[in-house]
Amino acid sequence: NGGLAHGLPNGATVRKKLMGYVGFANLPNQVHRKSVRKGFQFTAMVVGESGLGKSTLINTLFNTTLYPEKEPLPPQAERPSTVSIESISADIEENGVRLRLTVVDTPGFGDFVNNDNSWKPIVENIEARFDAYLEQENRVNRQKLVDNRVHACLYFIQPTGHALKQIDIEFMRRLHTKVNLIPVIAKADTLTDDEIVAFKERVLSDIAHHNIRIFQAPIYDNEDEETIAENEEIASKIPFAVVGSNREVRTSDGRSVRGRAYPWGVIEVDNEDHCDFVKLRQMLVRTYMEELREHTNDVLYENYRSEKLLGMGVTQDTSVFKEINPAAKSAEERALHEAKLAKMEAEMKMVFQQKVQEKEAKLKQSEEELYARHREMKDALEKQRLELEDKKRRLESGRPLTPEKSVSTKKKGFLRA
């Protein structure tokens, strides 16, 4: 009752001032050092119709040629008939921090006459990655978990300027509980500023109408004003209207920039006045990569895992819930008691049955023994009866009692004579 002695309720936390240097202020540095040593794993998925600039944007985001530049397929070229899943990994390093980046591409999505089930192989792939992680967690040795779960999915919306298409809605509806969805308006340089504003509004209202949850940067209580403003700034740009390009072009004022050149001017990828590329990179890489990984692990994967385990008949540990809920606790105790009684009853039944079986086996054995003895006695009596009858017949006919013996003596005498 140390707490009570000091007038504090049990378990209370108090704020204390340190009287000198202790050293735990170095904890963030320790975490940082360890993370840097271990490196990071990040998996991004890109989904969208062919030719929307997915490979180009990935190359632009990570400033590398993860995807070689390719010529667009001619219309008559043979295209695959199903959505396939292709992943590509690269180890990249920036200021000593290593990142194993994996990009999962989904060629074929939305490219067919009938795209009804285009989302299916993608959901299956995301779930298979969850399963692979779950399998590692269930192993005895869980030292080095390889995290191949998809941490973010960039969904490329065709810059039609109208509304979302059925395939966009269907995909996002099917996927939003399994992956952090980040919608982007592809090739935004093909729309005017006004068209982009109107299109964004329409896309957002479609998303809200269909109750689709897209990734939102979390806002914490103790966040400073600057961070809150930054969060709001990023959130206000969703769905990000992006332009991708790995090419350097020269602006009218002579600067060399990543962008796309048009007769009327240059669209700069890294210029926030030109497109939302910078904000997308901020969300995906610079500020919220860790949040994306955390949300994947703590919410999306956790939901999948508990649903899967419940489906397999494994109940979750609800001890925290019971601790704060006495009704749940007593219900659980009652259930435990009943289970114990049922177990005892089953055990008693089993012992009883075993005893009965043993008795029956013994009875059967003695019955067989009795029967065998009875048959033996009967045989012996029959033999005796036959001998006596034979004796009687011989006495009545006046023949000697042992005829065989006398015949043989006679024979011997005859032979001798």
Q: Which is nearer to ligand GTP, 51 or 161 (CB)?
A: 51
Residue 14 CB partners (closer than 8 Å, separation 6+): 8
Q: Which is nearer to ligand GTP, 191 or 207 (CB)?
A: 191
Query: DSSP code of 301?
Result: I
Verify binding: residue 241, ligand GTP, rule CB under 6 A. Answer: no
Residue 43 pairs with which residues in a beta bridge? 102
Number of neighbours of residue 49 by Cβ within 10 angstroms: 19
In sequence order, what E strands does 164-302 have? 181-185, 240-241, 248-250, 256-262, 265-268
Number of neighbours of residue 327 by Cβ within 10 angstroms: 8
Q: How near is the Cβ of 157 to ligand GTP at its closest, in Å?
A: 12
Q: Do the beta carbons of residue 287 and residue 217 sit within 8 Å?
A: yes
- Give the H/E segment covering residue 100: strand 97-105
Verify binding: residue 55, ligand GTP, rule CB under 6 A. Answer: yes
Q: Which is nearer to ligand GTP, 212 or 275 (CB)?
A: 275
Number of residues that bind ligand GTP (CB under 6 A): 16
Shortest CA distance to 44 belongs to which of 285, 356, 268?
A: 285
Cβ burial, residue 214 (10 Å; 0-12/13-18/19+): middle
Angle at 176 between CA 173 and CA 179, to 5 degrees: 145
Using the contact rule CB under 6 A, the part of the chain among 28-36, 51-59, 170-178, 390-398 near ligand GTP is: 51-59
- Cα–Cα distance measured from residue 338 to residue 355, given in angstroms and rounded to the nearest whole number: 26
- Cα–Cα distance measured from residue 154 to residue 183, given in angstroms and rounded to the nearest whole number: 6
Using the contact rule CB under 6 A, the part of the chain among 49-57, 126-134, 216-224, 337-345 near ligand GTP is: 49-57
- Cα–Cα distance measured from residue 111 to residue 201, given in angstroms and rounded to the nearest whole number: 26
Q: Which is nearer to ligand GTP, 24 or 264 (CB)?
A: 264
Number of neighbours of residue 276 by Cβ within 10 angstroms: 24
Verify binding: residue 274, ligand GTP, rule CB under 6 A. Answer: no
- Cα–Cα distance measured from residue 315 to residue 313, given in angstroms and rounded to the nearest whole number: 6
Verify binding: residue 52, ligand GTP, rule CB under 6 A. Answer: yes
Using the contact rule CB under 6 A, the part of the chain among 91-99, 185-193, 217-225, 407-415 near ligand GTP is: 185-193
Site string for ligand GTP, 100-129 (x = CB under 6 A): -------x----------------------
Which of residues 7, 28, 68, 72 is near ligand GTP by CB under 6 A?
Answer: 72
Q: How near is the Cβ of 93 to ligand GTP at its closest, in Å?
A: 24
Q: Which is nearer to ligand GTP, 248 or 345 (CB)?
A: 248
Using the contact rule CB under 6 A, the part of the chain among 11-19, 22-30, 47-55, 231-239 near ligand GTP is: 47-55
- Cα–Cα distance measured from residue 247 to residue 60, given in angstroms and rounded to the nearest whole number: 9
Using the contact rule CB under 6 A, the part of the chain among 187-195, 208-216, 224-232, 315-323 near ligand GTP is: 187-195
In the bound complex, which residue of the shown chain has the CB atom lying closest to ligand GTP? 53
Q: Which is nearer to ligand GTP, 37 or 70 (CB)?
A: 70
- Cα–Cα distance measured from residue 234 to residue 279, given in angstroms and rounded to the nearest whole number: 6
Which of residues 183, 239, 244, 259 is near ligand GTP by CB under 6 A?
Answer: 244
- Cα–Cα distance measured from residue 179 to residue 108, given in angstroms and rounded to the nearest whole number: 20
Verify binding: residue 176, ligand GTP, rule CB under 6 A. Answer: no
Per-residue tokens: 26: 């170095």
Tally of helices (H runs) and strands (E runs) in the chain:
13, 9
- Cα–Cα distance measured from residue 159 to residue 396, given in angstroms and rounded to the nearest whole number: 131
Verify binding: residue 54, ligand GTP, rule CB under 6 A. Answer: yes
Which of residues 16, 17, 37, 70 is near ligand GTP by CB under 6 A?
Answer: 70
Which of residues 45, 47, 53, 301 is near ligand GTP by CB under 6 A?
Answer: 53
Q: Which is nearer to ligand GTP, 47 or 207 (CB)?
A: 47
Which of residues 187, 200, 237, 293 is near ligand GTP by CB under 6 A?
Answer: 187
Verify binding: residue 51, ligand GTP, rule CB under 6 A. Answer: yes
Q: Which is nearer to ligand GTP, 53 or 183 (CB)?
A: 53
Q: How near is the Cβ of 268 to ligand GTP at its closest, in Å?
A: 12
Q: Do the beta carbons of residue 148 and residue 133 sit within 8 Å?
A: yes
Q: Do the beta carbons of residue 83 and residue 109 sit within 8 Å?
A: yes
Residues that bind ligand GTP (CB under 6 A): 50-56, 70, 72, 107, 187, 189-190, 243-244, 260
